[in-house]
């Protein structure tokens, strides 16, 4: 407890006037997680992948290309630092860079459009493309340069600049197709089976590539047509339209495009993925025109890339997409293939990495792994619903995680749904979690779905002593809205042994997506039930029985008159966690939209209206999030686990709140400090509070290790010379002062 005393002493020295604070967390990836065989997961808390896109970018501005991932499931961005080991694929999760990116949806591709060596952002927006320029200088930064990209659709007559169309379900090819040094775009037209070629004229017009200027040069690039019944193509299609007439054809269903030169002839081949198929089709381009501005698709390979070294062909169940850049630091581009489908699809082992053993323009591929980066994460397929539970009664909190399911076509539900048990094999101060059971309590074999006489999906566990015998029992929610009761027959102090006692326990039915929590909500010493559900509201079942013979009676289906839906959302998917904050009940909840909701004004107000914070600490990590709290490192602060629909879990460590000596309540909100944790530099943006400002950095003993008078709106503080550890950043302004805990890692 020495460090806690030191923290308190520092705070008492700093703040002799009234201070304001609240429960706070910081994202931490340093809790060790082990596989069943004892191997350490590289990036356990990265949060999982479902339908993920990849691009390279220098995140820390050290000259080495790092990695971003973007998951269509929840529009979830993630950042990874390239460890920079020659001929080795090795990335470290670095979520501190996520905040430097704008909010994006549907698809994200990073390309250097202005030839400055920095990767810019191309992303979906309103059926088109939005572009952010990489304006990094000392820190990663992006500036919006084109809210929606236009192209001249009538280059041979009166110009007609309209938004360059890209379906939100598609991925376009953004590459230098004609070899002139600027980026062109290939995309399927709005209706039909033909690919449009939008030529970038920036080099021709300006002599450089510092901007973007597109015109539609070919409505039928390659002279092929994608077949409607399968994902092969028809060659030498006459393309029964011309540049001035809109295409007529079947509605486009969804495709992914990317380009590469596979035969060293300088023309770009097109690789096509389709929404309804499991493979990639390589379309050979025999264009040998001097300026490569033509195109002629003459043959196809529907088993790509198996014919480029005899490796395995892509087989991802549905809608694969490819990404081509150097992954293993050998200066040759490699191939990543992932599913692009935002719905039910293969949701684990679905990121395939093919290493290239030859040349970028003449590849020889070898399948290296079918779970690139996933193999180093907690990854449970689709959905992750964690909770803490001491399963072996050793005084250390373990983790049980439910899921929607791992995709499995052999199952009657298309999912293998189970509970995963991670045992805490560490200590009270240093937790270490090891996966010891991927089907805890053998729940995947039990027919919890009585309607379909089949196993349940979307299983969400909660633990508590339901029968009053001194050990904790388990209730499990599920897709159909019922609760299932598993009795712990082990007895107090023993490793839990769960036996299914009752399916559809006590007839409790909340509609769909039941997410229960056992908690004494009315403080009468009996466990009650708070249940989240798909509509975003909370049901409250009071225990009107006894501690050994409970009787759960529905009090309200709209507890607190609150929910987790926003105005434009179909459902809320509430997942409650009630906790005691210094004798006062508060409730956190996950939601479909991924934000964490905090509710207050609960005690003595169970029939009234709760207070609500609909974006608690501005934490958002994916979609259909779930939350649980516990002090797992014995530092007197609650720690937070967040599960998400990508099948992973994120860990936030409990922390001292940012504290403010108040003269103006807006000071703390307007001054920004990032990244945190940090390695080399801390950025501080003072907003409008620059006058008479200064900063100090104090070590854990309260000793000043850095100070500076502030003379610019935004400053960068060099912390490279500081030792690894915890520091306090004190910001003094004319309106007051703030203290931020910062971490050098």
Asked if 321 and 256 count as a contact pair (C-beta separation under 8 A), the reply is yes
pTM of the model: 0.86
Helices (H) and strands (E) in the chain, counts: 3, 56
Q: Which residues pair with 579 in a beta bridge?
A: 586
Q: According to the model, what pLDDT value does residue 18 have?
A: 32
691 token code pair = 């006058």
What pLDDT digit, counting tens, does each position of 589-622 carry?
Answer: 999 999 999 999 999 999 999 999 999 999 999 9
Q: What is the pLDDT of residue 13?
A: 41
CA atoms within 13 A on the CB side of 666: 5
Helical H runs in 671-709?
Answer: none
What is the predicted pLDDT for the residue at 699? 74
560 secondary structure, DSSP code: G
CA atoms of 621 and 283, how far apart (whole Å)? 37
List Cβ neighbours of 238 (8 Å cut-off, separation of 6 or more): none
Tell me, rounded to whole angstroms, the distance of Cα 491 from its chain centroid. 40
Q: Measured on CA atoms in the order 402, 406, 410, 412, is the torsion positive or negative?
A: positive
Amino acid 675: pLDDT: 86
* pLDDT for the residue 343: 63
Q: How many angstroms separate the Cα of 586 from the Cα of each of 630, 638, 653?
A: 14, 13, 18
* Nearest 10 degrees: Cα torsion 589, 373, 101, 327: 180
pLDDT tens-digit series, residues 457-509: 999 999 999 999 999 999 999 999 999 999 999 999 999 999 999 999 999 99
Distance separating alpha carbons of residues 270 and 287, to the nearest angstrom? 12
Determine whether 250 is exposed, middle or buried from the number of CB atoms within 10 Å of its CB (0-12, 13-18, 19+). exposed
Q: What is the DSSP string of 10-22?
A: HHHHH--S-EE--
pLDDT of residue 685: 83
pLDDT of the residue at 342: 67
* DSSP result, 376-394: GS---SB--EEEEE-TT-S
Residue 243 pLDDT = 42
CA–centroid distance for 242 within its chain: 43
Count of Cβ atoms closer than 10 Å to residue 621 Cβ: 25
Series of mean pLDDT values for 10-residue runs along the chain (745 residues): 44 38 79 97 96 97 97 96 97 95 97 97 96 95 96 92 95 95 93 88 92 93 80 76 44 82 92 90 81 79 86 89 97 96 76 96 95 96 96 96 91 91 95 98 95 94 97 97 98 97 98 98 97 98 97 98 92 96 93 96 97 93 95 89 97 73 50 84 76 77 78 85 82 74 82
Q: What is the pLDDT of residue 292?
A: 64
DSSP state of 45: T
Give me the torsion for CA of 130, 572, 622, 185, rounded to 10°. Answer: -20
Give all strands (DSSP E) within 524-623, no chain letters: 528-532, 538-543, 552-556, 575-581, 584-590, 597-600, 611-613
């Amino acid at each position: 407890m020495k460090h806690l005393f030191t923290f308190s002493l520092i705070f008492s020295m700093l703040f002799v006037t009234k201070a304001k604070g609240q429960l706070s967390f910081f994202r931490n990836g340093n809790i060790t997680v082990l596989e069943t065989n004892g191997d350490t997961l590289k990036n356990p808390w990265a949060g999982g992948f479902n339908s993920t896109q990849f691009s390279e970018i220098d995140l820390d501005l050290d000259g080495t290309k790092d990695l971003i991932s973007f998951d269509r499931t929840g529009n979830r961005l993630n950042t990874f630092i390239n460890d920079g080991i020659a001929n080795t694929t090795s990335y470290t999760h670095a979520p501190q860079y996520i905040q430097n990116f704008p909010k994006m949806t549907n698809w994200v591709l990073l390309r250097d459009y202005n030839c400055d060596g920095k990767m810019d952002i191309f992303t979906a927006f309103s059926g088109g493309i939005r572009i952010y320029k990489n304006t990094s200088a000392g820190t990663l930064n992006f500036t919006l340069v084109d809210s929606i990209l236009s192209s001249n659709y009538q280059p041979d007559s009166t110009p007609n600049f309209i938004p360059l169309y890209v379906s939100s379900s598609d991925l376009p090819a953004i590459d230098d197709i004609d070899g002139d040094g600027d980026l062109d775009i290939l995309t399927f037209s709005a209706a039909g089976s033909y690919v449009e070629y939008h030529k970038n004229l920036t080099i021709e017009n300006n002599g450089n590539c510092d901007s973007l200027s597109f015109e539609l040069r070919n409505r039928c690039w390659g002279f092929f047509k994608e077949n409607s019944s399968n994902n092969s193509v028809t060659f030498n299609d006459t393309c029964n339209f011309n540049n001035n007439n809109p295409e007529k054809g079947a509605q486009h269903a969804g495709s992914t495009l990317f380009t590469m030169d596979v035969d060293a002839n300088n023309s770009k081949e097109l690789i096509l993925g389709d929404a309804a198929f499991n493979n990639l089709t390589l379309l050979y381009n025999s264009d040998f025109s001097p300026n490569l501005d033509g195109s002629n698709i003459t043959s196809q390979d529907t088993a790509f890339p198996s014919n480029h070294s005899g490796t395995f062909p892509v087989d991802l169940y549905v809608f694969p997409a490819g990404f081509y850049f150097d992954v293993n630091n050998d200066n040759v581009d490699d191939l990543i293939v992932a599913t692009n489908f935002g719905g039910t699809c293969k949701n684990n082992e679905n990121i395939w990495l093919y290493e290239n053993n030859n040349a970028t323009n003449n590849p020889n591929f070898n399948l290296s792994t079918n779970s690139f980066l996933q193999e180093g994460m907690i990854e449970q397929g689709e959905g992750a619903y964690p909770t803490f539970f001491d399963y072996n009664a050793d005084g250390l909190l373990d983790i049980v995680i439910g899921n929607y399911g791992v995709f499995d076509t052999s199952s009657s539900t298309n999912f293998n749904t189970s509970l995963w048990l991670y045992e805490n094999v560490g200590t009270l101060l240093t937790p270490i979690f090891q996966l010891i059971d991927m089907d805890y309590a053998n729940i995947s074999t039990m027919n919890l779905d009585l309607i379909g006489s089949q196993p349940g999906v979307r299983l969400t566990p909660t633990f508590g002593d339901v029968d009053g015998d001194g050990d904790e029992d388990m209730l499990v929610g599920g897709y159909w809205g019922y609760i299932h009761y598993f009795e712990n027959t082990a007895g107090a102090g023993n490793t839990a042994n769960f036996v299914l006692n009752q399916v559809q326990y006590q007839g409790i039915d909340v509609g769909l997506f039941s997410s229960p929590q056992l908690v004494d909500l009315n403080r009468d010493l009996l466990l009650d039930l708070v249940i989240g559900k798909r509509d975003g509201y909370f049901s409250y079942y009071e225990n009107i029985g006894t501690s050994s013979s409970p009787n759960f009676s529905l009090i309200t289906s709209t507890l607190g008159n609150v929910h987790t839906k926003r105005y434009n959302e179909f459902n809320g998917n509430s997942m409650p966690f009630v906790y005691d904050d210094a004798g006062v009940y508060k409730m956190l909840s996950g939601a479909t939209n991924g934000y964490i909701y905090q509710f207050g004004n609960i005690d003595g107000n169970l029939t009234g209206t709760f207070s609500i914070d609909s974006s608690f600490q501005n934490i958002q990590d994916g979609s259909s999030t779930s939350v649980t709290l516990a002090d797992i490192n014995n530092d007197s602060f609650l720690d937070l686990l967040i599960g998400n629909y990508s099948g992973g879990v994120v860990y936030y460590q409990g922390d001292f709140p940012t504290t403010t000596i108040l003269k103006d309540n807006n000071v703390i909100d307007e001054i920004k400090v990032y990244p945190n944790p940090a390695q080399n530099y801390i950025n501080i943006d003072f907003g409008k509070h620059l006058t008479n400002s200064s900063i100090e950095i104090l070590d854990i003993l309260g000793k000043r290790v850095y100070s500076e008078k502030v003379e610019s709106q935004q400053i960068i503080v060099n912390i490279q010379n500081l030792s690894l550890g915890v520091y306090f950043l004190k910001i003094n302004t004319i309106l007051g002062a703030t203290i931020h805990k910062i971490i050098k890692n």
